[in-house]
Chain A
Amino acid sequence: MSDTVKLLAFAGAREMIGEAELAFPVARGLTARGLLDAVCARYPRLVPYAGSIRVAINGTYAAWDEPVRAGDEVALIPPVAGG
């Protein structure tokens, strides 16, 4: 069994993926950028929106080169529109 993160997808990103939450496999040394690319590879419907999606790791916005570790909660954050 490979190591996974808990991947959360919200709003439009959730609709493109078709799931709100899933276990997503991560290789050692994977970055936030690498994870988004891997998610897009598995869910091509997300590709046209990928440029506007940010990644949060454990509840905080992540830099693109930030490492993703097994067990992390990783969220795909499409453009926010609160207020």
Chain B
Amino acid sequence: MDRPTHLDSQGHAHVVDVREKAETHRIAVARARVRTRPEVARAILDGQTPKGDVAAVVRVAAIAGAKRTSDLVPLCHPLPLTHLAAEFAVDPRGVLTIVVRAECVGRTGVEMEAMAGASIGALTAYDMIKGLDREARIEAVELLEKDGGRSGHYLRGAGERIALVDRPIVVDDVLAAVAHPSAGGQVLFLGTVRDHADGQPVTLLEYEAYATMAVAEMGRCVAEVEAQFPGVRLAVTHRVGALQIGDLAVVCAASAPHRGEAFGAARALIDAIKHRVPIWKREHGPDGPYWVDFVDARCTGEEHLHRADRHHFPVGHGHEHHEAKP
């Protein structure tokens, strides 16, 4: 077996020889989060923190931290960084986010620089607010994106931006999947189960999906709409199973540099999903359950082309598709 790359011939740790690796443009983006109380987040936004401007200090600390990576992490190469940027965002619900982007032209990746920068930024954020909240905690230091190495382009959560679940949808998770420092606006569409359809009461909805194709088709919808609206990031989660009135059936999120694209893309995404994704719903109304839009052609004469016509026929006319017998 080949020996691990970070051990030399005597089994001692060393900084690996990368002379033979190609010099490429390398990019890494990492994120850290600090969770605090909403009042503390509000104080930061209002500039009412005891140690002054949290955002400015955190950004500078994150950049300084990224530069010191090879001093702090034993087996890291010192890298000639060509670009370092740090962003600090405050969610009024009490989440502080530090995102660090590192770039270099070199023979090894810059993800440790981005991760170290995000970590030091998070530590600094804690230092800046500890007088207000000593219980604040640093969580989720993670690589968001990496490019330029042999492993190609990596984007965290690219697979999680599309989900089909059989439990309640967590809106924050969908929103988090599109969060991006360059986003100036985020739009959410929440599709809920309503208590009527075509003038008839609905008490329960059952959603069924062709799961593998539904996930693939939602992915195609996302890719097409993102191509149509440059700079937009989209995410969607659809729920299946039995849902009650008011439950979330589908959540679409869009982030974009400006609100216009965010609204446009969110609208385009939900329209595409409703039109194409193989998910069906069975509504339970006063005349029993029926599959929405599954209409017997024998009952769609010229005067009955409206989809509501399933309700206009008396029981026993062949419209109770769920129980029709040959």
Interface core residue of B273, B280, B293, B295 (most chain A CB under 10 Å) = B280
Those 10 A-B pairs whose CB atoms lie nearest each other, nearest first = A82-B279, A12-B294, A11-B280, A79-B293, A12-B291, A81-B292, A83-B274, A59-B213, A48-B296, A81-B281
Residue of A nearest to B298 (CB): A48
Docked-complex contact B326 and A15, CB < 8 angstroms: no
Q: Is the CB of B216 within 8 A of A60?
A: yes
Closest to B325 in A: A45
Check B208 against A80 for contact (C-beta < 8 Å). no
- Does B297 count as interface, using CB distance less than 8 angstroms? yes
Chain A interfacial residues counted at CB < 8 A: 26
CA distance A9 to B210 in the complex (A): 9
**Stretch of A25-33, A49-57, A63-71 contacting B (4+ beta carbons < 8 Å):** A49-57
The CA of A56 and the CA of B217, in the complex, are separated in Å by 11
B291 touches A78 (CB 8 A): yes
| B238 on interface, CB distance cutoff 8 Å | yes
List 11 A-B pairs, Cβ < 8 Å.
A15-B291, A44-B326, A52-B295, A60-B213, A75-B278, A79-B295, A81-B292, A82-B273, A83-B191, A83-B250, A83-B270
Per-position 1/0 for B119-138, Cβ under 8 A of A: 00000000000000000000
Q: What 13 additional pairs, Cβ within 8 angstroms, besides A11-B294, A12-B291, A82-B214?
A: A11-B208, A11-B282, A12-B280, A49-B294, A49-B296, A78-B293, A79-B294, A80-B275, A81-B281, A81-B292, A82-B274, A83-B238, A83-B249
User: What sequence of 0s and 1s flags, for each residue 208-226 of chain B, a beta carbon within 8 Å of any chain A beta carbon?
Assistant: 1110111010000000000
Residues of B within 8 A of A75 (CB): 210, 213, 278
| Docked complex Cα distance between A11 and B214 (Å) | 14
Q: Smallest CB–CB gap between B299 and chain A, Å? A: 8
In the bound complex, CA of A51 to CA of B292 (Å)? 16
Interface SS, B side: mixed
> Smallest CB–CB gap between A12 and chain B, Å?
4
- Chain B interface size, as a band, is 35 or more
Complex Cα gap A20–B253 (Å):
33
Pair A56/B210 contact, Cβ less than 8 Å: yes
Interfacial residues, chain A to chain B (CB-CB below 8 A)? 8, 10-13, 15-16, 44-45, 48-52, 56, 59-61, 75, 77-83
Expressed in whole angstroms, the Cα–Cα distance for A11 and B292 within the complex equals: 10
Most buried by B among A13, A61, A80: A80
B276 to chain A: closest CB distance in Å? 7
Inside 8 A of B238's CB, which chain A residues have their CB?
Answer: 82-83
Q: Which residue on B lies nearest to A78, using beta carbons?
A: B294
A80-B278, A81-B279 as given contacts; A15 in contact with B210, CB under 8 Å: no
Q: For residue B164, which residue of chain A has the nearest CB?
A: A82
Min distance, Cβ B3 to any Cβ of chain A, angstroms: 43
In the bound complex, residues from chain B placing their C-beta under 8 Å from that of A12 are 280, 291, 294, 321-322
Q: Which residue of A lies closest to B208 (CB)?
A: A11
Do A52 and B280 contact each other (CB < 8 Å), given the known contacts A59-B212, A83-B270, A83-B274? no
Asked, given contacts A44-B326, A59-B212, A82-B238, whether A10 binds B280 with beta carbons under 8 Å apart, the answer is yes
How long is the Cα–Cα vector from A81 to B298 in the complex, in angstroms? 21
- Chain B neighbourhood of A10, CB < 8 A: 208, 210, 278, 280
